[in-house]
Amino acid sequence: MTAHQCTAAQVGAVAAAEPQRLAIHDEHGPVSYGTFHHRVLRCAQRLAALGVRPGDRVAVGGPGIARQLVALLAAEGLGAVTASFGASGDAGAATVFRHVQWVLAGERQEVPAGVRLVPVDAAFLQALDQPLEGPPPPWVETPPEAPQRMGRTSGSTGEPKILQHTRAGQEWWIDLVLGEGAGVRGRGTRLLLLAPLVVGGAFPRAAACLRAGAAIVGGSHLDLAVLRPTALYGLPAHLDALLAAMPPDTRLPWRVESEVVGGVLPAWLRQRAEAVLGARPRSLYGCGEAGPVCDDMDEDGTGTLCPGADVRILDDDGHALPAGAQGTVAVRTPALVGGYLQRPQETARAFRDGWYVSNDVGQLVAPRRLRLLGRRDDLLSVGGLKIGAAVLEERLARLPSLAAAAALSVQLDGGRTTLGIAVVLRPGRSVAEAQAELEPALADVAALGIRLLTVDALPRLPGGKLDRAALLRLFLQAGARASPCS
């Protein structure tokens, strides 16, 4: 296979050699490479007939990973720029829709005037299994520096911002996934894709699997004992939910290599995952603006930079700091985007001289070794020192009365900055029990003033990350009803 071939073409090569090989197994059942490739070709014929052209922006939503990937690979093969959105409950979908010409959706969506909505309904799906209507359209070779994939920021602090990744950036990303030590290790790989395709690294991993002739496992109500995944990709919340659904003494009789992105993996979750899955999980660091940065972070948040990734540590004025100094993390990779689509002011603040200035705080502790200390918007001032919300949340996760917890800064009590702790109680546990456990766990930050809010569930974004903006609104709505924790 040559490097210029799109993923759809490489899927075709696998299908020609082994048409019965499993490509995807989701909630709608198994799909072989032969069937999957045929559906991609038929979908490309349909999209071309509807008028999709090179450079068009096409958003695709579920349900069903296989159905989404059919549409995404078909559109990409036609030279379109693809994006993903959640089938339901995706607050950022409206933002995506404002930046595309086409929306392919498995569930009803409201789209702006002028945007073509293509329902992926029963008739559409049945047509994909019909014979080809003449020769399939030729695959378009997108120029390396042209946009190929649209992403977005998480939206955890407001409306998401839209990103456009070039074909060259996507190819670099996919090559990293296929590299030595990564989660996709040839045709024997079965990747349990816990993260939805709206998560930045999910689509490159899916593309890498399909190029390699490996299998993707995803969706709900899957029998892991039958499907036996060998690799896993998701956010910490996805891994936590998977393990929580298993009996406490579960030990899988085969190894599952886990890759987790979206924050340093807490020690307790790392240990639980290793015990259940038989392999130490790898905690990855990256961002939507630049793709992968570090390929394995240890318990202290320290990892080695990925090949092709560079990092600088900046002071508050944007000047580079010497090795060992703490400051703002700026990154540069082959997947770096040029800015935020139609957001010139935010672009000017975040992208400077070919670098993305992140909201993360860290230090270079050795050549090409980065230690993350937290995020600027998550760092709390405690007696002149800084402590990250993630550090507090890891402590809280160990408390017997709590099923989940989150920490953030809130302005209550007349505008005083206060530490807000939102908790989900375990069945049968009381607020009084939670407070009794919280007091010693948070004794070193008690000077901040702590307000406790109990919720039925922590609000989350479609990708699985904590929705801190929604959580802040809950605190402000509760106001004085948030219990002091002293």
Q: What is the DSSP string of 389-455?
A: HHHHHHHHHT-TTEEEEEEEEEEETTTEEEEEEEEEEPTT--HHHHHHHHHHHTGGGGGG-EEEEE-
Looking at the predicted structure, is the pLDDT value of residue 269 above 90? no
Residue in 120, 110, 34, 127 with CA at minimum distance from that of residue 71: 120
Name the 3-class secondary structure at 82. Answer: strand
Query: pTM of the entire structure?
Result: 0.82
Name the 3-class secondary structure at 347. Answer: helix
Domain annotation for the chain: domains and CATH numbers: 7-227 (3.40.50.12780), 235-375 (3.40.50.12780), 379-484 (3.30.300.30)
Position 482 scores a pLDDT of: 65
CA dist., res. 393 & res. 111, Å (int): 38
Q: What is the pLDDT of residues 169-209, one digit of tens each?
A: 999 999 999 986 666 888 999 999 999 999 999 999 999 99
Segment 359-369 mean pLDDT: 92
- The pLDDT > 70 percentage for the chain reads 91
Q: Does residue 376 or residue 53 have the better pLDDT?
A: 53
- Comparing 237-246, 406-415, 428-437, which segment has the lowest mean pLDDT? 406-415
Position 2 scores a pLDDT of: 41
Residue 415 confidence class, pLDDT cut points 50, 70, 90: very low
Position 481 scores a pLDDT of: 60
Average pLDDT score, the chain: 90
Residue 429 confidence class, pLDDT cut points 50, 70, 90: very high
Position 409 scores a pLDDT of: 75
Q: What is the pLDDT of residues 305-326, one digit of tens each?
A: 999 999 999 998 999 999 999 8
